[in-house]
Chain A
Amino acid sequence: MKNALAGMERALFWTLTIAAFAAAAVGLGARAVDRVAASYETAQQNYAIVRIAAPEGPEAMAAAESALTHSSHVASAAPMTAGRAAALLQQSVTAEDMPPLQLIEIELNPAERHVDVSGDLVAALAQGGVTAEIVQAPQGQGPGGTAARVRVAVLAGAIAFALIMALIISLVARGLAARRRELVTVLADCGATRGQAAGRVADEAAITGLYAGLLGGVLAGMIAFLALILAIPDATPETLSQMILPLDLVPIAAAPLGAAIAASFGARAAAGFFHEQAARLD
């Protein structure tokens, strides 16, 4: 490509790159928030604490644990130790000062929304001769929960931001097309149709957008990787590469494609307009 990326073209290329970088970075951030919200949601839905009200003593705890482990809702059940309780209270009370606990931590299996898990567990315990209450029942289940709302909001925000960046890329590509105005005029003079002239300029803009998107996407990926290394204690590149799912890489992969499409679209519209001006004078 002769005189490629000289002067103004170089500035336009970097504008495209920055827009693609911003879109990819926001996409990666949104994906990170989505994963945190999803794991929070899972933890909220699957965890509960059962307090044994009566009778007291180790026999009652054993009976309750046995009743719970036989319940279809429960994946695992274990009495809460004094050390665990102290940890949950964030060391405001030491394990030694803790009174005897009548608490059982349970991990729940996923259940349908309409199922009354708490009621079923209390009934199962009553059949085992234990009176109990569910202290921390699953909250925010299903798509109406806070975490789910956060996930939807983050996804919508990332898409909206990507669309704004696509609009910016498309406008920048119009600038690229303006740099090819003389070519469009010559093509119109030589009998090129609007589609031929605009297509030629759009192809060039698409390739520029592809490279800019590739660069922006890779930059965003590298910075995100670095941020995770710094943010997660004891994280290493090996552990991070195991944590990263293929879905997490979608914003990086989408950046070149999106930038190419948006640039092509903007350049095609502008070149078509220039062709119309050159080809029809009335």
Chain B
Amino acid sequence: MAQHTNPDRELFERGVLARLNGVDAGYGAETVLHHVDFEARAGEVALVSGPTAAGKTTLMHLLRLSLAPRAGRALLMGLDVRRARESARAKAKRRIGYVAENPVFVEHWSAFDNIALPLRMSGRKPTEYVDDVRELVNFVGLGEASADEPVETLSGAGRRRTAIARALAAKPDLILADDPTSGMSPSDGRRIVRLLAEMRRVGAGVIIASQDESLAECGPILRWRIDRGRVSPVDQDFEAEAAE
């Protein structure tokens, strides 16, 4: 009996987490992204850099399935976004960890409870996840004392670390970080990027959007440039030669 295979699903299984072909996206009457071609793979870290209002956050919303493409083909987690049902999109979304530019928390909950939320959503009991969450708290450098404090009392850096820990909690396949270093000192920012880049070791794909191009120096990071809604890969070999 012939087996029916889904080519989109096959691509995902081969490590293609996101593939955009000629995608347009925007809000209301405004189209922000124009004819975007982009790809992210498992085990890779990508930095999408560009000036303010270039479309970085819109690209992140598109990749986290909160914005529908208007044209072109968007393949995310093996799912053709334009054709997928809401339930399938929600299922795919649970495999994406997202660190927002201005992360939203349940402010009166502790950082620990906020981090554990994706695990609670997946039906795990506190006794099953308490050690994992403690480990994450240490991994992002939040500190156990801060983890038990309500998020509303944390500093900007503490909130950022909490957001990263929450994005990593459900062991996502794809991690999106929108300007994760904003408001941080350069050294703290680099530490955060290194932390995110570490996730490639467990097979996750990481996409970081930032104005700061120098973050690419934090490790083996693929670079993309975005300007006025157009995304293009940066020819790193050429740049390295030019620098020499």
Tell me the A residues contacting B by CB distance below 8 Å: 2-3, 182-183, 185-187, 189-194, 196, 278-282
Contacts and interface: CB of A to CB of B under 8 A. Distances in A.
Nearest to B163: A189
B121 A192 contact: yes
Given A2-B108, A186-B106, A282-B27, A193 B117 contact: no
B68 A282 contact: yes
Contact of A186 (B25, B87, B117): B117
B114 interface: yes
30 contacts: A2-B108, A2-B109, A182-B105, A183-B106, A186-B106, A186-B117, A187-B117, A187-B121, A189-B64, A189-B98, A190-B94, A190-B117, A190-B118, A190-B121, A190-B170, A191-B92, A191-B96, A191-B118, A191-B121, A192-B90, A193-B87, A194-B86, A196-B121, A280-B68, A281-B61, A281-B66, A282-B25, A282-B26, A282-B27, A282-B28
Given A187-B117, A191-B94, A281-B66, 9 more contacts: A2-B109, A182-B106, A186-B104, A190-B93, A191-B121, A193-B90, A279-B66, A280-B68, A282-B68
Contact of B66 (A3, A186, A280): A280
A191 B172 CA distance: 11
Given A192-B90, A281-B27, A185 B67 contact: no
B126 to A, nearest CB: 14
Interface residues of B toward A: which range? 20 to 34
A190 B90 CA distance: 9
Nearest to A193: B90
Given A190-B118, A191-B94, A196-B121, A182 B68 contact: no
Contacts, number: 58
Contacts of B121: 187, 190-192, 196
Interface of B: 25-28, 61, 64, 66-68, 86-87, 90-96, 98, 100, 104-109, 114, 117-118, 121, 166, 170
A193 B118 contact: no
Contacts of B166: 190
A187 B106 CA distance: 10
A194 to B, nearest CB: 8
Give 7 closest A-B pairs by Cβ, nearest first.
A191-B94, A191-B93, A193-B90, A190-B118, A185-B104, A183-B106, A281-B66
A2 B148 CA distance: 14
Most chain B Cβ neighbours within 10 Å, of A2, A182, A191, A282: A191
A193 B121 CA distance: 11
B107 A182 contact: yes
Contacts of B93: 190-191
Given A2-B109, A185-B104, A186-B105, A281 B96 contact: no
Nearest to A194: B86
Contacts of A279: 66
Nearest to A185: B104
A281 B28 CA distance: 9
Contacts of B95: 191
